[in-house]
Amino acid sequence: MDRKLSITTIVLSLLFATLGIAQPNIFDIKSFGGASHADITMAFTNAWKAACGSTTASKVMIPRGVYKMHAVDVKGPCKAPIEVQVDGTIQAPQNPDELNDAYQWIKFGYVDYFTLSGKGVFDGNGETAWRQNDCGKNSTCKRRSMNFGFNFLKHSIVRDITSKDSKNFHVNVLGCTNFTFDSVTITAPVTSINTDGIHIGRSTDVKVLNTNIATGDDCVSLGDGSRQITVQNVNCGPGHGISVGSLGKYPKEEAVEHVLVKNCTITNTDNGVRIKTWPSSPGTSPITDMHFEDIIMVNVLNPVIIDQEYCPWNQCSKLVPSKIKISKVIFKNIRGTSKTKDGVVLICSKSFPCDAVELNNVALTFNGAPVNAKCVNVKPILTGPTPKCTTAAEA
């Protein structure tokens, strides 16, 4: 067996040499003072600096073991493609204050051709932060750290890793282009507060594929400036579903457009697929070209919903309608079970009614019977076995 392995190694080495494919330079954190059951903040930071400075492809290795890490902010530009492979468990401090108000616990920024991979677990140790979270009644509450920040990355991928028990959102994507999540696991108990799985904003061509997300908030949420987004083969639940928004709360927001959510299963969530905007708020950028297709709902409270009167914790007024125009939205081949009779709720803005909304083969049931569809300021196109839309005047 050893002889066979040696021959294989030799053949692969010759192949790499013949094709001119360079094997990546390996930067193991153990070579930088990192050790299991110890704090590897400096070891990881120094390994990153060395790898980022390599003129050929490099890989930072965090091998099996359990490690501690405080907040890190590693940046490019790097001189060549760089990968971080994590096969161990990395733990954040339990005390949220020990992260020194870092917006994200682990932040990667300004890199082209970045990869985060491995079977490792990033444990945010969020229980204390959840107990202290009073944002529902305190508008000046202290913001706790997310597990990850991916900022201004291009042509990059995150695959196979697990994000566990973040103190806040698990993942925030900002200013990225051609960025993919594949076979990622995101997990936190349903009682965890504000633990969105993946939040995307001001980014183009982001894909969330073959991923399992179970949290106490949105599985995937799209902020302003999200364009060409694909969410496919995702298992979502528990949590609050897959959401576009919330949007409109702030001035100078960017449009959200060209979104595809397809082949997803949503289980035991508060919402299924949702678009949400704030009333009485300054944002005016449109939402357009949304496709929600081939989705299975299992015991979902609000399977299909547009809510342009989104106002959590009564922190706003509904006197002035939302200024955001929603158009070209398709809900197609959506089936399964609703926890409410009104399984389809489309509440659009009185000032800017929704245009070109289509319900195509929306076959949802409540206690074995077809659900109702409630529609306000929208006249959707109905195709296939879809519930008739009851307007506000008919209600």
Q: What is the pLDDT of residues 317-372, one digit of tens each?
A: 888 999 999 999 999 999 999 999 999 999 999 999 999 999 999 999 999 999 99
Check residue 141 and give its pLDDT.
80
pLDDT at 284: 94
Residue 2: beta bridge partners?
Answer: none
Single-letter code of the amino acid located at 52? C
pLDDT, averaged across the chain: 93
pLDDT, tens only, 216-270: 999 999 999 999 999 999 999 999 999 999 999 999 999 999 999 999 999 999 9
User: Does the pLDDT of residue 18 top 70, yes or no?
Assistant: no
Is position 240 annotated as part of the catalytic site?
yes
Quote the pLDDT of residue 315: 72
Query: pTM of the entire structure?
Result: 0.93
Inter-residue contact 344 to 385 (CB < 8 Å): no
DSSP H or E stretch at residue 104: strand 104-109
Confidence of residue 313 (pLDDT cuts 50, 70, 90): confident
Q: Nearest to residue 246, comparing CAs of 202, 216, 283, 191?
A: 283
Distance from the Cα of residue 343 to its chain's centroid: 24
Is 2.160.20.10 the CATH number for 169-391?
A: yes
* Mean per-residue pLDDT, 93-103: 95
**CA 59 – CA 259 distance, rounded (Å):** 33
Smallest Cα–Cα separation from 229: which of 290, 171, 286? 290
pLDDT band at 6 (very low <50, low <70, confident <90, very high): very low
**Distance of alpha carbon 39 from alpha carbon 19, whole angstroms:** 40
- CA distance readout (Å), 113 to 57, 152, 163, 226, 275: 10, 11, 21, 20, 32
Q: Residue 393: its pLDDT value, please?
A: 47
Give the distance, in angstroms, between the CA of residue 96 and the centroid of all CA atoms in the same chain.
22
How far apart, in whole angstroms, are the C-alpha atoms of residue 33 and residue 238?
40
Q: How far apart are CA 246 and CA 223, in angstroms?
A: 7
Least confident of 108-117, 195-204, 284-293, 306-315: 306-315
Q: Which among 37, 70, 199, 240 is annotated as catalytic? A: 240
